[in-house]
């Protein structure tokens, strides 16, 4: 095998991708399976999740769907135990499930609106990491990626709970990197810019005709275009494969240059 193929190979590995049914999670599930991993697609969306699994299997990969609410600890514990029993091990966790929540200024947001975002984006990441780490230790090590955002690095004048949640998962990766480094478990965060997914389309369609809003948004970016889910999946593959074996506690920004100015 050529060195480059060996570096990015996930042969023999098992990966859980939360929110793996569609968008960035779907592209990541497909790419990690293409690299040789057996993939657990976990999500609330059953039809989309089964569709993603079907695409992976049709392409010659191995995958299975589990319905999971990342904010429900009993559900997380059961699904992670099931995944390990089904595939025999667990090596990789992508904490990708997330919601944007309400676009309401801080002074008008209710506690319930705030807590709904935190429960999925932050508590969900905590719970999945908590229940993945013992399985990774049994496998001899592992790699965790928290999907943050460029808005986990800089602020924005909207969705305050979302930005706070993305800052939290960035720091959680750094803490977990230090906690588990000697146990051969790496943890990093990835920071997407504007990526065309159902989440982004739903948020933007409130501001006018979708293609016009997207074209306007692209102008905010030095590269003058928004990204696609595969742009982020490629960075995740780097972080979880042998190519990233000395990388832990860091943050990979993939935003077309947005945060460079």
Catalytic residues: 162
Q: Which of 52, 197, 241, 248 binds ligand NAI (CB under 6 A)?
A: 197
Residue 68 touching ligand NAI (CB under 6 A): yes
Site for ligand NAI in 72-111 (CB under 6 A): 96-99
Tokens of 95: 């904490």
100 to 103, 159, 161, 204: CA distances (angstroms): 8, 7, 8, 12
Q: Please report whether residue 161 would count as binding ligand NAI according to CB under 6 A.
A: no
For ligand NAI, how many residues bind (rule: CB under 6 A)?
29
Binding mask 106-145 for ligand NAI (x = CB under 6 A): --------------x---x---------------------
Q: How many helices and strands in the chain, by DSSP H and E? A: 10, 7
What is the contact mask toward ligand NAI in residues 198 to 217, using x (rule: CB under 6 A)? xxx-----------------
Would you say 7 or 109 has its CB closer to ligand NAI?
Answer: 109
Interacting span for ligand NAI (CB under 6 A) from 23-31, 137-145, 174-182, 234-242: 23-31
Strand order in the sheet with 62-67: 62-67, 38-43, 14-18, 92-95, 142-147, 185-192, 251-254
Measured distance CA(225)–CA(31) in Å, rounded: 22
Q: How far is the CB of 1 from ligand NAI (least distance, A)?
A: 32
Residue 45 in contact with ligand NAI, rule: CB under 6 A = yes
CA distance 169 to 176: 10
Which residue number, 7 or 188, has a Cβ lying nearer to ligand NAI? Answer: 188
Q: 84: Cβ–Cβ under 8 A, 6 or more apart, which residues? A: 14, 90, 135, 138
Residues contacting 136, CB < 8 A, separation 6+ = 90, 91, 93, 142, 183, 185
State the minimum distance, in angstroms, from the CB of residue 86 to ligand NAI: 18
Residue 237: its H or E element:
helix 229-240
Q: Segment contacting ligand NAI (CB under 6 A): 53-61, 64-72, 233-241, 245-253?
A: 64-72
Which of 14, 15, 17, 18 is the binder for ligand NAI (CB under 6 A)? Answer: 18
Give the Cα separation of 17 and 96 in Å (integer).
7
């Amino acid at each position: 095998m050529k060195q480059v193929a060996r570096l990015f190979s996930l042969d023999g590995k098992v990966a859980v991708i939360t929110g793996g049914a569609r968008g960035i999670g779907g592209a990541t599930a497909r790419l990690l399976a293409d690299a040789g991993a057996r993939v657990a697609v976990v999500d609330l969306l059953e039809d989309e999740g089964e569709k993603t699994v079907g695409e992976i299997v049709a392409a010659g990969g191995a995958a299975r769907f589990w319905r999971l609410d990342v904010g429900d600890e009993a559900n997380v514990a059961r699904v992670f135990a099931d995944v390990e029993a089904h595939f025999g091990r667990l090596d990789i966790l992508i904490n990708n499930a997330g919601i944007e929540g309400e676009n309401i200024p801080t002074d008008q947001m209710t506690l319930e609106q705030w807590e709904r975002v935190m429960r999925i984006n932050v508590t969900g990441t905590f719970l999945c990491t908590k229940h993945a780490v013992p399985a990774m230790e049994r496998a001899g090590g592992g790699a965790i990626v928290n999907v943050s955002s460029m808005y986990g690095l800089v602020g924005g004048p909207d969705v305050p709970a979302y930005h706070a949640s993305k800052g939290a998962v960035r720091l959680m990766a750094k803490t977990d990197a230090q906690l588990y480094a000697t146990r051969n478990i790496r943890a990093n965060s990835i920071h997407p810019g504007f990526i065309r997914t159902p989440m982004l389309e739903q948020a933007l369609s409130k501001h006018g005709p979708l293609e016009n809003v997207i074209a306007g948004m692209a102008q905010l970016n030095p590269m003058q275009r928004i990204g696609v889910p595969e742009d982020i999946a490629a960075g995740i593959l780097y972080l979880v494969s042998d190519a990233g074996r000395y990388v832990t506690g860091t943050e990979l920004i993939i935003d077309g240059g947005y945060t460079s100015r």
